[in-house]
């Protein structure tokens, strides 16, 4: 009975989430001076040695995210993701704004991915909070790699906020694995 109640509650939550968050206004595309998003950035980008993956559409929106913290793909336009585990474990991820900004003057791509709320429920306890990931870096001359400085920031409920200035960027190299 508890499991059925939990599943019904999660289904209602996800339906509410989809109806309130299922709009493209949460996905901002900025290319500068009314330039279209460059064709060479459109497609699937996968990080080397990391679980990150991003799919950019022709309008510059991010249509799919593979996040190292989340074991299922996230479709930002759907508002989030839900994953069911074993023994009553589950995770809920509510997306916030996802932005992609290409600056032609310095051939730099900047991406921000926001998870406004996450809840991970395990048999041993619950972790909840929010997180943001920032990527900034140049695209290679041939348009096949993106070397980005990655900063990941998470606030956990019940824990002290981390000092943003103490977070050191990590270098992540993305490779375009598929054009669209």
Q: What pLDDT, on a 0 to 100 scale, did the predictor assign at position 164?
A: 81
Report the range of poorest mean pLDDT among 28-42, 50-64, 102-116: 28-42
Residue 163 has pLDDT above 90, yes or no: no
Query: Which residues have a Cβ under 8 Å from the Cβ of 40 and sit 6 or more positions away?
Result: 139, 143, 176
Nearest CA-CA partner of 50 in 36, 65, 63: 65
Please, which pLDDT band fits residue 18 given cuts at 50, 70 and 90? very low
Q: Which residues pair with 40 in a beta bridge?
A: none
Buried residues in 130-164 as b, exposed as e (16+ CB within 10 A): bbbbbbbbebeeeeebbebebbbebeeeeeeeeee
Q: How far apart are the first and last CA of the chain?
A: 46
Rounded CA separation 23/17 (Å)? 11
pLDDT digit string, tens, across residues 57-91 = 988 899 999 999 898 999 999 999 999 998 889 99
pLDDT digit string, tens, across residues 36-48 = 789 999 999 999 8
Query: Which residues have a Cβ under 8 Å from the Cβ of 37 and sit 6 or more positions away?
Result: 29, 31, 56, 57, 58, 59, 60, 100, 102
Most confident of 29-38, 87-96, 160-169: 87-96
Query: pTM of the predicted model, to two decimals?
Result: 0.79
Residue 171 has pLDDT above 50, yes or no: yes
Q: What pLDDT, on a 0 to 100 scale, did the predictor assign at position 29?
A: 46
Please, which pLDDT band fits residue 137 given cuts at 50, 70 and 90? very high
Mean pLDDT confidence for 150-154: 94
Q: What pLDDT, on a 0 to 100 scale, did the predictor assign at position 180?
A: 64
If you compute the radius of gyration of the chain from its CA atoms, what whole number of angstroms results? 17
Share of the chain above pLDDT 90, in %: 64
Mean pLDDT confidence for 9-25: 39
Residue 131 has pLDDT above 70, yes or no: yes
């Amino acid at each position: 009975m508890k499991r059925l109640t939990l599943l019904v509650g999660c289904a209602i939550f996800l339906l509410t989430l989809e109806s309130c968050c299922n709009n493209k206004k949460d996905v901002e595309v900025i290319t500068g001076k009314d330039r279209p998003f460059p064709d060479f950035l459109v497609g699937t980008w996968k990080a080397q040695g990391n679980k990150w993956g991003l799919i950019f559409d022709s309008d510059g929106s991010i249509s799919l995210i593979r996040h190292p913290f989340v074991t299922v793909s996230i479709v930002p336009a759907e508002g989030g993701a839900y994953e069911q585990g074993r023994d009553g474990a589950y995770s809920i991820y509510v997306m916030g704004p996802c932005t992609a900004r290409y600056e032609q003057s310095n051939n730099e791509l900047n991406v921000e991915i926001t998870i406004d709320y996450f809840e991970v429920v395990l048999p041993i306890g619950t972790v909840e909070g929010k997180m943001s990931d920032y990527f900034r870096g140049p695209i290679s001359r041939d348009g096949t790699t993106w070397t980005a400085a990655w900063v990941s920031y998470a606030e956990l409920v019940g824990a002290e906020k981390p000092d943003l200035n103490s977070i050191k960027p990590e270098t992540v190299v993305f490779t375009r694995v598929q054009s669209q």
